[in-house]
Structure 1
Amino acid sequence: RAALRDGRSMSLIYRAYTSDDLGAPAHAPHRFKIKGGSVTATQVSVTAGYFDLLDTRWPRKSYNLNEFPGLRYL
């Protein structure tokens, strides 16, 4: 409740299981970024999405001296 109220960054991991094998997930887990939600005494409701386009850096690949030391001599 405090994280939703404060607007902190949270993530949701969804794992799908089949009824005949509950020991391990049937597929790889899906990761979502939680965008909002509500909490009651018996229920939690969240709104989540796959990809947050507005919070991504562009261009995604940044050239820096740690990864590309040759840039120092340009």
Structure 2
Amino acid sequence: MLLALSGRGNGGIGASLLDCEQVMLEHGAYVAANLDGGYSSELYYKNQFLVPPSNPLGERYVATSFVVDGGNKT
């Protein structure tokens, strides 16, 4: 399960760590990891952004990320 939220930079209100915890618990998570959010948060799936970068300058390099790759399904 992945949770990515659009931050204040996209006109959203953002979320606290407690907000994220509550969403994860409501969906059955019992162990979770939190990465730095803010401008670097985005979710990209099947060649489109589901949660686009909040940074007005677009994507930027990050030190840590989760990458899920389903592999080559040919």
When the two structures are superposed, what TM-score results if normalisation uses the length of structure 1?
Answer: 0.19
Q: Radius of gyration: which is bigger?
A: 1
Q: Which has more helix, going by share of residues?
A: 2
